[in-house]
């Protein structure tokens, strides 16, 4: 029997989109160890030079002028006016995609971001291909850049997102509410006392986990400053991701503090830190929040970015799993109020667990394998 082949497409190496395809790959290997998988940065594959420019522009916009991103995000007039540009990009990339599909010959294609999903959808239409195509949403903000007739299934994180996609014209039978794919390891339970000691933390004192996503975005510096004045006997663990400049800055600051700050760069065992934390302060990216909710973590979100983060935050607030801080000066007050209110923390933990879908990647993996078997049987 020929091996089943799955093509996973994402953009940007240090991103939730990449973490999503890694999670799906892990699930597929659990479900079918002999599956052949190509996990590819589609933007880098088609436009390696342009990718670097676009990534820098995006980071610059969301850091300095987030209002521009808010205007661009799911704006019908922008979508309409850029349609010709999008079609030209897809046409330009088509020969590379044709070569990729010819060489790898996938039984199914899965995309964790709208850009590669659009390229794959256009490829199917251009070459009259019947290869199953699955779009996996990694936020609670289903924008119109995702929508193509040749996408066979969309994976939505919630029923609310499914309803919004239906209102945008996507047939309901094309949408599966499986959740945001996270690594299967997040569903594992550990001995919290042993884990805390592994990280040098005291399991009997509250642990605050501060994160800024893989790129260390957000006001981590201000969180560390606020912790210096914390009256409650607690511990702060900060994960700066791949942001080495920020790590060095925080390291210098932490050395002058009487309280020890537990500082980490990019780590592969964030599931263990989440397991022992009592509260998480983070940006409202889809993957990080899905991982945190899987661990039942009450969430504090500081000044979410316009667009997907603001929409994500609104959803979390409506479910009672998070609180939002709009002023950096209120960080200390919010943390002290939360840690002093066990009943509120308990309610937020319960709400977080209700939102969580810890087996999303496995459910997505099962669907992909079903589609692969259908493809291989008709080949």
* Domain count of the fold of the chain: 2
DSSP state of 341: -
Q: Which pLDDT does position 43 carry in this prediction?
A: 83
Q: Assess whether 203 and 229 both reside in one domain.
A: yes
3-state secondary structure of 307: coil
Instruction: Examine residue 87 and state whether it is found in any structural domain, yes or no.
Output: yes
Residue 159's contacts (CB-CB under 8 Å, 6 or more residues apart) are 177
- Could you give the angle at the alpha carbon of 339 between the alpha carbons of 290 and 139, nearest 5°? 15
Q: How many CA atoms, within 13 angstroms, populate the side-chain half-sphere of residue 327? A: 4
Q: Which pLDDT does position 306 carry in this prediction?
A: 81
Instruction: Examine residue 279 and state whether it is found in any structural domain, yes or no.
Output: yes
Q: Assess whether 170 and 238 both reside in one domain.
A: no
Q: Which pLDDT does position 214 carry in this prediction?
A: 52
Instruction: Examine residue 109 and state whether it is found in any structural domain, yes or no.
Output: yes
Q: Assess whether 351 and 368 both reside in one domain.
A: no
Q: Which pLDDT does position 304 carry in this prediction?
A: 87
What's the rounded Cα separation, in Å, for the pair 181 and 28?
12
Q: Assess whether 158 and 236 both reside in one domain.
A: no
3-state secondary structure of 48: helix
Which residue range is the domain that position 15 belongs to? Answer: 5-182+359-378
What's the rounded Cα separation, in Å, for the pair 24 and 365?
6
Can you point out the beta strands (E) in the chain?
A: 5-10, 36-41, 108-111, 133-136, 153-156, 175-177, 207-211, 235-239, 261-264, 279-282, 299-302, 322-325
Q: Assess whether 147 and 226 both reside in one domain.
A: no
Q: Assess whether 49 and 144 both reside in one domain.
A: yes
- Residues 119, 97 contacting (CB under 8 angstroms): yes
In the numeric block, the tokens 């975005």 are attached to 217
Tally of CB atoms within 10 A around 245: 9
Q: Assess whether 245 and 131 both reside in one domain.
A: no
pTM for this one?
A: 0.90
Q: Assess whether 243 and 218 both reside in one domain.
A: yes
Q: Assess whether 280 and 207 both reside in one domain.
A: yes
Instruction: Examine residue 22 and state whether it is found in any structural domain, yes or no.
Output: yes
In the numeric block, the tokens 């642990």 are attached to 207
Q: Assess whether 139 and 46 both reside in one domain.
A: yes
**Spatial strand order in the sheet of 235-239:** 261-264, 235-239, 207-211, 279-282, 299-302, 322-325
- Residues 291, 186 contacting (CB under 8 angstroms): yes
Instruction: Examine residue 75 and state whether it is found in any structural domain, yes or no.
Output: yes
Q: Assess whether 291 and 254 both reside in one domain.
A: yes
Q: Which pLDDT does position 299 carry in this prediction?
A: 97
CATH number at residue 242: 3.40.50.2000
pLDDT string in tens for the chain (379-residue length): 578 999 999 988 778 899 999 999 999 999 999 999 999 998 888 877 666 655 665 555 556 666 665 555 666 665 666 666 667 777 777 888 899 999 999 999 999 999 899 999 999 999 999 999 999 999 998 888 899 999 999 999 999 999 999 999 999 999 999 999 999 999 998 899 999 999 999 999 999 999 876 555 567 888 888 888 888 899 999 998 878 888 888 888 877 777 788 998 888 899 999 999 999 999 898 999 999 999 999 999 988 888 889 999 999 999 999 999 988 889 999 999 999 999 999 999 999 999 999 999 999 999 999 999 987 666 5
Q: Assess whether 59 and 133 both reside in one domain.
A: yes
Distances, alpha carbon 99 to alpha carbons 104, 123, 124, 129, in Å: 9, 11, 13, 14
Instruction: Examine residue 187 and state whether it is found in any structural domain, yes or no.
Output: no
Instruction: Examine residue 285 and state whether it is found in any structural domain, yes or no.
Output: yes
Torsion of CA 121, 127, 133, 139, to 10 degrees: -10
């Amino acid at each position: 029997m020929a091996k089943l082949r799955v093509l996973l497409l994402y953009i940007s190496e240090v991103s939730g989109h990449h973490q999503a395809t890694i999670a799906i790959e892990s699930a597929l290997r659990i479900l079918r160890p002999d599956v052949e998988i190509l996990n590819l940065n589609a933007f880098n594959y088609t436009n390696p030079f342009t990718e670097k420019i676009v990534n820098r522009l995006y980071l610059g916009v969301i850091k300095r002028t987030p209002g521009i991103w808010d205007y661009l995000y799911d704006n019908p007039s922008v979508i309409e006016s850029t349609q010709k540009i999008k079609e030209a990009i897809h046409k330009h990339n088509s020969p590379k995609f044709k070569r990729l599909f010819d060489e790898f010959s996938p039984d199914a294609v899965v995309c964790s971001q709208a850009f590669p999903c659009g390229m794959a959808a256009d490829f199917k239409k251009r070459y009259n291909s019947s290869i199953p195509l699955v779009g996996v949403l990694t936020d609670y903000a289903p924008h119109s850049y995702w929508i193509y007739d040749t996408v066979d299934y969309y994976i939505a994180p919630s029923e609310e997102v499914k309803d919004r996609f239906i209102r945008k014209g996507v047939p309901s039978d094309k949408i599966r509410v499986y959740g945001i794919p996270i690594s299967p390891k997040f569903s594992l339970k550990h001995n919290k006392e042993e884990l805390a000691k592994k990280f040098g933390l005291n399991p009997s004192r509250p642990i605050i986990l501060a994160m800024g996503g893989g790129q260390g975005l957000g006001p981590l510096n201000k969180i560390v400053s606020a912790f210096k004045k914390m009256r409650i006997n607690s511990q702060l663990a900060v994960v700066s991701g791949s942001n080495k400049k920020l790590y060095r800055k925080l390291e210098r600051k932490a050395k002058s503090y009487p309280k020890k700050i537990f500082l980490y760069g990019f780590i592969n065992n964030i599931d263990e830190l989440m397991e022992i934390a009592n509260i998480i302060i983070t940006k409202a990216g889809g993957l990080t929040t899905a991982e945190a909710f899987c661990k039942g973590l009450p969430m504090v979100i500081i000044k979410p970015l316009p667009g997907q983060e603001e929409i994500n935050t609104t959803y979390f607030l409506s479910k009672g799993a998070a609180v939002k801080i709009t002023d950096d000066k209120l960080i200390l007050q919010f943390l002290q109020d939360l840690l002093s209110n066990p009943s509120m923390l308990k309610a937020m933990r319960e709400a977080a667990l209700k939102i969580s879908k810890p087996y999303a990647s496995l459910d997505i993996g099962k669907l992909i394998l079903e589609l692969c078997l259908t493809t291989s049987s008709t080949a």
